[in-house]
Amino acid sequence: MRLLDLTLSTPEENIALDEALVLVADREAAARGTLRIWEPVSPIVVVGRSSAIAEEVNVAACEADAVPIIRRTSGGAAVVAAPGCLMYALVFAYDRRPDLRLIDRAHRFVLDRMAAALDALAPGLRQAGVSDLAFVNRKVSGNSMRCCRHSMLYHGTLLYDMPLELIDRYLCMPPRQPDYREARPHGAFVANLPISGGEVRSRTVGVWQAVATTDPWPRELTTQLVREKYARDAWNRKIV
């Protein structure tokens, strides 16, 4: 698997690059797998493809603080990301992993590996709900996927030094909640991993055996997606 350790200059570009990677892999059909890691330089709110922003996001607080609201191409609910939150994206080709066409299998495959990578420093880390990782019954990672014809994108968050008070400020209580949340507010439900950012990064790279290469990344497609989608309210603020 190739490693792309790349944080671009704007949040729109960073969200667009995840989609560009899976679109390129889908065209190539037998593409090599990719692990991309990046970290926001300032807070952003990222909503799911079908999120109703008015139900999930405190829009007034985001606008007051100039925090962008960007809609991703995968499902799930809104999240806040900021420095102290490592973002990762995995792109798999189905010809090499046909079992990942089964959504439950895909969640289990990725989250079991991520938990195993970090368990030595966060004992008991486990999959919780459909697509979370939980430590001491508190959410430390949220994940989602986009399935294409020949490939899939699986991406998520790993909180290690995130200013958790931002979640209460920018998000409403989600309309859909996993059972293990037990209706807890954000401050009692979400936590940081007891692991340094360097360890989170190195163990994530290690568990996927990802190797840095000089392969080009889809720069032109990323720019196109920003221009046509991620920089436009017609996509980010659409009514669903």
Has residue 29 got a pLDDT over 70?
Answer: no
**What CATH number does domain 2-236 carry, 3.30.930.10, 3.40.50.720, 3.90.1150.10, 3.40.640.10?**
3.30.930.10
Q: Given this model, what pLDDT does residue 30 score?
A: 56
- What would the pLDDT profile of 146-166 be if each residue is shown by its tens digit? 999 999 999 999 999 999 999
> Binning pLDDT at 50, 70 and 90, where does residue 31 land?
low
Name the helix (H) or strand (E) containing 23: helix 11-28
In the chain, where the domains are located: 2-236
Beta bridge pairs of residue 212: 3
Q: Residues 24-35: what's their mean pLDDT?
A: 83
d(CA 142, CA 60): 24
Q: Residues 33-50: what's their mean pLDDT?
A: 97
**Average pLDDT for the chain:** 96
Q: Given this model, what pLDDT does residue 215 score?
A: 86
Nearest CA to 35 out of 81, 75, 76, 92 is that of 92
Largest Cα–Cα separation, the chain: 47
Has residue 28 got a pLDDT over 90?
Answer: no
Nearest CA to 138 out of 164, 105, 120 is that of 164
**pTM strictly above 0.75:** yes
Q: Which tokens sit at 23? A: 């679109």
User: How far, CA to CA in Å, does 97 sit from each of 20, 173, 184, 205?
Assistant: 20, 36, 37, 19
Q: Given this model, what pLDDT does residue 60 score?
A: 98
